[in-house]
Structure 1
């Protein structure tokens, strides 16, 4: 497959995925209202997950 063909297919698939994500986002917004309490709760969950995930360590090359 030529690079141009591969790039064209990549752009087409990316556009499809963006459209699906937008449709999912709109459906989720229409499905239930987000109150302040809910948004705050999910923000705290996200912060907790970020704090609990260890940062990757970069190993120095050995001689």
Structure 2
């Protein structure tokens, strides 16, 4: 989503900082659906690059932090 022209839209998931002019990913929830319905935001095209995948690793018992 990105703000409609002339609009400033706070992002509650980001400490109510304003959504950047070029937009960004937002969750599909009631707040953003209302912003879309009220024409405060417009759907922007998905980025060409997929979002990075974050993989969490489990700690190995007895291993030091830099050995994982």
TM-score, reference length from structure 2: 0.27
- Larger Rg belongs to: 1
* Higher helix residue share: 1
Higher strand residue share: 2
